[in-house]
Structure 1
Amino acid sequence: MDLIRIVVADDHPLYRDGVTRTLAESGRFAVVGEAASAAEAEAAVSRERPDLVLLDISMPGGGIAALRRIMAGPQPPRCAMLTVSEEDDDVMQALKAGAAGYILKGVGARDLVGIVADLAEGRTYVAPSLAMKVLAAMNAPRPQRETTPLDTLTKREEEILRRIAVGKSNKEVARELDLQEKTVKHYMTAILQKLQARNRTEAALIARDSWPDRRG
């Protein structure tokens, strides 16, 4: 039977050693990498290509930040958080970032082995004390966002407006999007009509006010 390859990332050496020993002694897992920070965890994943990664949330560099980068890589392993944090925000962020499991550090050795085995087989796990919170958060009604004229733009119109908003000329926009300059002008006419803007400067200001964190 092939052993399940695991990377354990936690900045507390004694706890990390305990988890590593528990998993290894079960005879079902091979801990192929250990890490004490987000950067070390990412390097271990890249180097070892494990089946599963256990990440502490509060380690240097942040476990959730490491999770996001690991999940963004090619053929990412399954990942689970192994943490003391019971904060709703931490749980939801981890699950949204792609964590297959959220394990609290108070779990016993036998239970940990069973949970990790289930995760490796494709199942998911959330600590029972947090499961109801997660369900409640997922089922909570989402506030409706008010529709704005910007929502009426097509994808191409939005691409053009984003570039106009950062000061690019029609010629520069045309070159970037592989369009004719006259085509960009036609799009700008439609954009101005939809936004009820008098000119491109006013349209750019509307875009900047609504998309302050996006720059083309």
Structure 2
Amino acid sequence: MIRLVIADDHPVVRAGLVGLLSDEPGFEVVGEAADGEQAVRVAAATSPDVVLMDLRMPGVDGVEATSRIAAEGTAKVLILTTYESDDQILAAIEAGASGYLLKAAPQDEILAGIRSVAEGQTALSPQVAVRLVERMRQPATAPTQVLSAREVDVLRLVARGRSNKQVAADLGIGESTVKTHLLRTFEKLGVADRTRAVTLAMEKGLLD
């Protein structure tokens, strides 16, 4: 029996998944979550085999929730979303997701993906697999703009798991200033979130 937690902020989508998986032999839905923070709490409380995780949710998003659940090591995370941009795919995989499927995928593909992830394998939709291969074939390029010393300081602390409030206290600056530095960093690196900013900066040798 594969124990599942379903995290999606759309009640209709979540209910549909619960109904589908509850009726499928070999699956048991042990929890639901409407946002990333709740997904982390429910996963900790129920110890599922797999968490089906949407990406865009209020508050803590799917990437951050995936990172926190993966760090605990109590469950595998399978992204199930409508979004498939390169940065979103890479951010999710780098956060620790074991698979990335699209909600538009056939039912059999979703069920097979859950089984694969539960068994410790990887599950990627064909579209996502192609995007990842294409991305890996692209030659590495330097960011179009160099980060300022302060932006590097902020990103280095973010890489250590510090929140915006903690970064502000560490550097003696306002929390709004931290947010401004991060937004400028995202723009310079061409990314959309903290996780991808840190990983890309490390890849480019911008962080120690």
Task: Give the shorter-chain TM-score range.
Answer: 0.5 to 0.7
> Contact 2:79–2:99 (CA<8 Å) still a contact in 1?
yes
Shift of 1:213: 8.2
In structure 1, runs of 5+ residues without a counterpart are 146-165, 167-210
The match for 2:92 is 94
Aligned partners of 1:212, 1:29: CA distance in 2, in Å? 45
**1:71 match:** 70
Q: Within 2, Cα distance between the matches of 1:14 and 1:106?
A: 15
- Give the corresponding residue for 1:14: 12
Identity value in percent:
35
Cα shift at 1:110: 2.7
Conserved 8 A contact 1:32-1:48: yes
Cα deviations by residue, 1:138-187 (Å, 9 ceiling, x for unpaired):
23333479xxxxxxxxxxxxxxxxxxxx9xxxxxxxxxxxxxxxxxxxxx
| Aligned residue in 2 for 1:137 | 135
Give the match for residue 26 of structure 2.
Answer: 28
TM-score (normalizing by structure 2)? 0.65
| Secondary structure at the counterpart of residue 21 of structure 1 | helix
The AA in structure 2 aligned to 1:23 is L
Contact 1:53 1:80 in 2 (8 A): yes
Equivalent runs, 1:177-196 vs 2, <5 Å: none
Q: Shift in Å at residue 37 of structure 1?
A: 0.5
How far apart in 2 are the matches of 1:7 and 1:111?
Answer: 18
**What secondary structure sits across from 1:6 in the alignment?**
strand
Match of 2:102 in 1: 104
Q: Distance in 2 between matches of 1:115 and 1:27?
A: 15
> Quick check: 2:44–2:74 contact (8 Å CA) kept in 1?
no
Secondary structure of the corresponding residue to residue 72 of structure 1: helix
Write the letter of the residue equivalent to 2:62: G
Partners in 2 of 1:67 and 1:100 — Cα distance?
Answer: 10
Please give the TM-score of this superposition, normalised by the length of structure 1.
Answer: 0.63
Structure 2 runs not aligned, ≥5 long: 144-169, 171-204
> Which residue, out of 116, 122, 137, partners 2:114?
116
Matched, 1:126 2:124: yes
Contact 1:22/1:113, CA 8 A, preserved across alignment: no
Q: What root-mean-square deviation, in Å, do the aligned CA atoms of Structure 1 and Structure 2 show?
A: 2.3
1:5 aligns with 2:12: no
Number of paired residues? 147
Cα drift, residue 4 of structure 1 = 0.6
Q: Report the Cα distance in structure 2 between the residues aligned to 1:126 and 1:50, rounded to whole angstroms.
A: 20
Q: Does 1:62 align with 2:81?
A: no
Structure whose alpha-carbon radius of gyration is higher: 1
